[in-house]
Structure 1
C-alpha cells in the first residue's frame, strides 16, 4: 500500500520553497498523492522553520512567497496583499477564528505573533465550498502551538526560552511552559518584541535631517494559554485564550510618514498625523474539538469562539473603540465507498462595532453571516474531481438604522489529472461571496450610513489552471495561471453633504453602502526547486494586474498594482557542525505610474522596482532541534525602498535599512 503523506504532488514544490531557506533534514522528492485537497495554491511554514529563523513577524516568515507582499514598517502599519488583492479582500484565520471588520482604515487589521504558531499557510485565489465565510481572494491561515508540538520524545513536561536582538533598534524574548499527563495537556507561552524607530536604507533622510523613520517604533506582546484533553489519539477537546497587544507612540494614520512632506507653511508635516501613544489589543477565546473515526463521520473539526479587538489612547477623551465577534464552525468529512470523500458543514459569525462614545445618535453597526456547504471529492483515478455548493447569507444593520440582507449560492468545480508519478495537471472554476464589511469602527459614529436598494454581497469567480512536474529526482517545477472577476464590489459612496474628513459628523452628510463596480485580476505563478546533496536552490515568480472597471486600481483596501515579483534562494547544509547557511533574494519590477497617496504633495508618483538580499545561518549546537542559534542580515546592501503593497508617494513608509540579527531558542 502506498504511503500517503500530508501534501499532494502539486503542492510539494510550494512546501519545498517554504523549507529551502531553513532545511536541515533531507526532503524526499517522492511521488505524493492525497485525494481531497483543494485546488488553490498553498504555501506552508511550520514551527520548525520558524525556530530556525530570526523572524519576528509574518512579513519575514512568508518572505519566500512571491505572490504575497507586506509593506509599511512594523505591526499595524503593515499592509498585506495576496496576488495584488488588498486586505479587505483576504482573510486572516487563527484556529478558525476570524473577523473581517477593521478599527481604522489606515491600519492593518491583522494582529498575530508567529512565535505562537505551529503552522502558517497562505491560500491563494477564491476558495472552494469548504473554505468558510467570505473566501473570495485568499487567506493567511494559521494554527497555534500545543504542548505535544514542543515536547521532546519521552518528555511529559518542558520549557522553552527564546531571545533575539537586531542592530536596527530592536529585541525580542519569550518563554513557554508545557506538559501532558493522563490525557490532559496544557501550555502557557509569552513573547515580547520591542522595536524602536528604525533606520531607513542608504541615504534615507527625513525632512528633519535624521535617518530614522519617525513613529515607526512599536512594542508587541503575544500571550497564549491552552488546555486540552485527549479522549484517544484521534479525539481532542481544547480551550485556549490568545492575546496580541501592540503599543507605542504612533502616527494617527499609521501607514503614512508625513515627516517626508512639507506643509503649506514650509514646516515638516508631522502635526497633520497627530502622533500619540496608542494601545491595540486582540483577545480571542476558542473552544475547539478535533475528532476522527466517529461512525459515519471520519473527521470532525468544530469550534466556538469570541474575539474582541480594541484600540485605546491613554490620556485622550475619545475612550476605547471595540469590535466584538462571535463565531462557530462545524466541519465534517465522511468517506464514501472507501474511495470518495464528502465534506459538509455550517459556519456562523456575528460582529458588532462599538465606537468610543461621542454623543452621536448613530447606532452600533452589526452584521451576521451564515453559511452551509456540501463538497464532494471523487477519486476517479487517475482523475480527482471536486464538486461543491455553498450558500451564504448576511444580515446587516447600519449606524443610520437601516437594514440589508442577501443570500447567494456559490458552486465550485475542480479537476486534477495525475498523468503519471511525475506529472500532474489541475483546473478549477470557483465562486465565492463576501458580505459588505462594516464601516471602520473608529469613525462609524460620525457617519450616517444607509444602504442602496438591493445591496448585494460581492461575488468572486476564479478560473485557474496549473501543473506540477518532476523531470528528475532532484527537480520540481510548478506553475498556475488564473483569471478572477469580482462582481458587485462593495464600497462607500457619499450621497449628500460632507461624508469624510476630520470634521465630518453624523449630521454633516449621508454615506451609502454601495455596489460600485467590477474588479478583474489575472496573473500567473511559476516555481522551481532543485536539491543536490547538501545544496538547495529555489526560484519563483508571480505576476498579477488587478483592474477596477477597466482601470488599474491603486487601493490598498481593494487591490494594488504589484510589480512582477521574483524570489530566489540558495542554501548549503553542513553535517558537522550542524550548520546551514543561505541567501534569499526578493526582486520586484517597476509597477509604473499611479495616484499619489495622501500628503505626498503631488497627484501622481512612480512605483519603482527594487531588489533586497538577505543572508542567514542556522546552527544546532546539540545536533538536534532543541537548540537553535540563528544569525541573519536583512537588507544586506542597505537598500532604500518602498513595498508595492503600500500606497504610492513620498508619504509612504520606507522599509527598514540593513538589520543584523542574532536569535537563540532552546527547548529543555
Structure 2
C-alpha cells in the first residue's frame, strides 16, 4: 500500500527531474529576462467577454490543447484542481468550478449561451475536444458582459477556425487523424479541410468514434461505457478589405449507445434493466459580426445564436421490467447580443444589450402522456470598464440590469428584474515581481428553468418565488521571477434561493456556500514547464456539508486535490514528452447527514492517485506527420473521479474510471 502511494510522487519527481534537464539550457535566457520580465497578458477567448483585472481566470490555451490532445472534458482541464470534472464517459461528465455546478455558470460555445438544464444523470455539455481551440474560465467573479446569471462565474468554449489550422503562406489545407485505445478497443478517426481565398474562409470537420466497454483498474468490465460518437463542425466567414467580418458556424455532436439505467451511476430499482439506450444530440449555430480594424470609438460586435440539447431514453416499468414509453427531454436557447467597445484614455468600456429565450420541455408518451415545459426570456443591458489608472494598477468594474419573464408548466407567469455589479483589480506591490488581486460581485439570476426530466405537469407555482442571487469573493497573490510563478488564491461563492425542484415542489430552493483556497508553483522556459497546484474546496447546502445527492444542480463534495504536470520538447529531434498526476485525498465530510438526503448509509470518499504520460514525435524531415502514444492511469488505479455522482452512498455502485489504457494516435496534414 505504501509503495502504491509513493508511485505518483515518484513519477512527479521523475517528471520534474526530466524537465530540469532543460533548466540549465534556459538559465542564460532567464538571467536576461530577469531584468526586463513582464507579465504576459492572458489569452481571453470564447467566454463572450474579456477577462477582468483581479479576477481568477483559468485559461486552457491553444498551446495547452495541442499538448494535451484531450479525449474528454476531464483531460481538457487536467492540471487545474479548481476545476473538477465528474463522470467516467463523455456523455455523463459535469464541470464544477470552485465547487459550483456548471448549471450555475454562464456557459457559452463560440459566444452562444448554452441552456444547461438537461438531465441530472447526463452531462450538460456533450463536447468533442477535437473541435476545441481554447477554453476560458472566469471563476467566481465574472464581468457584466459575460452574460446573464453568471452566478458562480463563466466558462467560454471556442472552436477552431480555418486561420488557426492553416500553415503560414498557404490558403488551403487539411488533415486526417486516427486513434486507438487499447482498454476499450475504441477507434476514433477524423478528417478536416479548410482554406481561405479573397476574403472568404471555410472549415469542415468530421469526427467518428466507435468502441466497446472499458475495464476498471480491478479488471471489472464497466457496462454501458462503449463509444458511438459522431461530431462535426462547419464554418464559413467573409472579411471585407476594411475589416468587417461575418462568420457563420454550426457544430453538432451525437452520442447514441447503451448506458447504465441512470447513466452516471449503477442504480436500479426492482426490475429495471441494467442498461438502456441513451441518444444525446447537441447542436450550436452562431452568427457573429465583428470589426477587425476598429477606428476611434467604433468597435462593434453582434452575435445571434441558437443552441439545443436533446436526450432520448426509454422508461421501463419497475414492477414488470417492460418498456412503457420513450422520454425525450429538450432544452434550447435563442440568444444574442449587440455591444460596442469604446476606447478611452485609460483603457476601454464595453457596453451593450443581450437577450435569451430559453425552453425546457419533456415529451413522455405514456398513459396518460406528459408534455410539461417551462420557458424563460430575458433582456439585459450592461457596461464593463477595464482601466489602467496608473502603471502599477489595473481595475475593472461594471454592472447589468436584467428583466426576466418566466412561465411554468401550468401557465403561471412571473416577471422580475434585478441588478448585478462587480468590481475587481490588481496592484503590482513589487513591479514585475509581486501582484495582489481581488474581486467581488453580486449577481441576479432570475428564476432558473427546471431540468427536463424532473418536470411534472401537475406542478403549481404558489406564492411569489425569490429570484436566485449570488455573492462572490476572490483574492490572491502572484509572484513571478525569471520563469518561476508562485500563486495563492482564496475564494467564496454564496448562492441564495438556488432552485432545486422535486416531483412535488416546483419552487423548492436551497442556499449554497462554496469556499476554499488554492496554491501553486510553476516554472516555464522555452523548451518546457513543470507545475504543481493544490486546492481545498468545501461546500455547504442549507448550512450543512453537501453530498452528491443534495448537491445536485448545486455542487459536489471535492475536498483536497493535488495536480502535478510537466512537459519538455526536444526541438532538434521533433520529440515531446510529458505527463500529469492527479492526487485526491480521502474526504470524510460526506459522512455528515443532511436533512434533505436519502436515508441510505453513507461513506467517505476514498483517496486515489492517477498518473498519465505521453510521448509525441514529429519527424523533422516530415513535419506534416505526427505520432503520439499516451498511457492513461499508468499504475492501473481502481477509482471513481472525485466529482462523480453517488459514490458517497452505500446503495450506489461506483462508476469506476478506466484502468490502464494505451492510446496510440497519428495525424497527417496536407
Q: For the superposition of Structure 1 and Structure 2, which TM-score range results when normalised by the shorter chain? A: 0.7 to 0.9
2:511 is the alignment partner of 1:512: no
Report whether the alignment pairs 1:187 with 2:198.
no
Cα distance change on mapping 1:575 and 1:384 into 2, 3 Å = closer
Find the partner of 2:229 among 215, 220, 225.
220
- Tell me, what secondary structure is at the counterpart of 1:377? strand
CA distance in 1, matches of 2:491, 2:192: 43
Q: Which moved more, 1:95-104 or 1:309-318?
A: 309-318
| Conserved? CA contact 2:141–2:422, under 8 Å | no
Counterpart secondary structure, 2:310: strand
How far did residue 667 of structure 1 move?
2.0
C-alpha contact (below 8 Å) 2:106/2:153 kept by paired residues: yes
Please say which of residues 217-226 and 351-360 is displaced more in the overlay: 351-360
Distance 1:302 1:448 in 2: 40
Q: Is the 8 A contact 1:406 1:455 kept in 2?
A: no
Alpha-carbon offset, residue 283 of structure 1:
1.9
Find the aligned partners of 1:525 and 1:492 in 2 and give their Cα distance. Answer: 33
**Secondary structure at 1:216 match in 2:** coil
Partner secondary structure for residue 590 of structure 2? strand
Aligned-partner Cα distance in 1 for 2:556–2:666: 37
Show the counterpart of 1:406. Answer: 416
Structure 1 unaligned residues grouped into runs of 5+: 1-16, 205-210, 264-268, 494-498, 500-509
Q: Distance in 2 between matches of 1:299 and 1:214?
A: 53
Q: Could you tell which deviates more after superposition, 103-112 or 587-596?
A: 587-596
Q: 1:374 to 1:623 in 2, by over 3 A?
A: farther
Partner residue of 1:440 out of 446, 451, 462: 451
CA contact (8 A) 1:599 1:651 kept: no
Q: Which residue does 2:3 correspond to in 1?
A: none
Who is 1:581 aligned against?
577
Aligned pairs (5 A) from 1:302-317: 302-313=302-313, 317=325
Quick one: which of 590, 596, 619 aligns to 1:594?
590
Q: How many residues align?
A: 614
Q: Does 1:155 align with 2:164?
A: no
Mapped contact 2:417–2:446 kept (Cα < 8 A): no
| Contact 1:542-1:566 within 8 A present in 2 as well | yes
The correspondence for 1:251, drawn from 234, 248, 260, is 260
- Report the counterpart of residue 636 of structure 2 in structure 1: 638
Q: Whole-Å Cα distance in 2 between the matches of residues 319 and 518 of structure 1?
A: 31
8 Å Cα contact 2:141-2:474 kept in structure 1: no
Change over 3 Å in CA distance of 1:657–1:34 after alignment to 2: closer
Question: Is the CA contact 2:364–2:370 (under 8 Å) kept in the aligned structure 1?
Answer: no
Closer/same/farther in 2, CA of residues 195 and 71 from structure 1, 3 Å limit: farther
2:364–2:371 CA contact under 8 A, matched in 1: no
Q: Distance in 2 between matches of 1:532 and 1:439?
A: 48
2:541 aligns to what? 548
Pair 1:301 & 2:316 matched: no
Secondary structure of the 1:238 match is: strand
Find the aligned partners of 1:273 and 1:396 in 2 and give their Cα distance. Answer: 37
- 1:334 pairs, out of 342, 349, 370, with 342
Equivalent position of 1:619 in the other structure: 617
C-alpha separation between the residues in 2 aligned to 1:553 and 1:600?
13
State which drifts further: 549-558 or 35-44.
35-44
- 1:372 aligns with 381
Query: Aligned to 2:563, which of 552, 558, 567?
Result: 567
> Quick one: which of 595, 602, 605 aligns to 2:603?
605
C-alpha distance 43-606 of structure 1, shift in aligned 2 (>3 A): same
State the match for 2:664 in structure 1.
Answer: 662
- 1:323-348 deviation digits (Å, cap 9, x = unpaired): 232111223211113x2211112121
Matches within 5 A, 1:25-36: 30-32=37-39
Q: Which secondary structure state, in structure 1, belongs to the residue aligned with residue 130 of structure 2?
A: helix
Equivalent residues of 2:190, 2:208 under 8 A apart: yes
Residue 159 of structure 1 deviates from its aligned partner by 1.0
**RMSD over equivalenced CA pairs, Å:** 3.0
Could you list the per-position Cα deviations for residues 551-595 of structure 1 after superposition, in whole angstroms to 9, with x for gaps in the alignment?
111224211121211111233322331212123111111221426
Tell me by how many angstroms 1:184 deviates: 0.6
SS at match of 1:448: coil
Matches of 1:629 and 1:464, distance apart in 2:
42
1-side partners of 2:477 and 2:623: how far apart?
34
Paired with 1:601 and 1:464, the residues of 2 have a C-alpha distance of 36
Secondary structure of the 2:145 match is: helix
**Which of the numbers 180, 186, 193 marks the counterpart of 1:177?**
193
Q: Deviations over 1:239-283 (max 9, x none)?
A: 111111111011231011248xxx7xxxxx7x5355222211112
SS of residue in 2 equivalent to 1:134:
coil
Match of 2:77 among 57, 62, 82: 62
SS of aligned partner of 2:363: coil
In structure 2, what is the Cα distance between the partners aligned to 1:138 and 1:448?
A: 34
Match of 2:250 in 1: 241
**Hey, what does 2:8 align to over in structure 1?**
none
Q: Is the 8 A contact 2:370 2:457 kept in 1?
A: no
Is 1:393 aligned to residue 389 of structure 2?
Answer: no
Please, which moves more after superposition, 623-632 or 633-642? 623-632
Correspondence list, 1:356-371, <5 A: 356=363, 358=365, 360=369, 363-371=372-380
- For structure 2, which runs of at least 5 residues remain unmatched after alignment? 1-15, 43-49, 315-322
Q: Report the CA distance shift for 1:272/1:605 in structure 2 as closer, same or farther (over 3 A).
A: farther
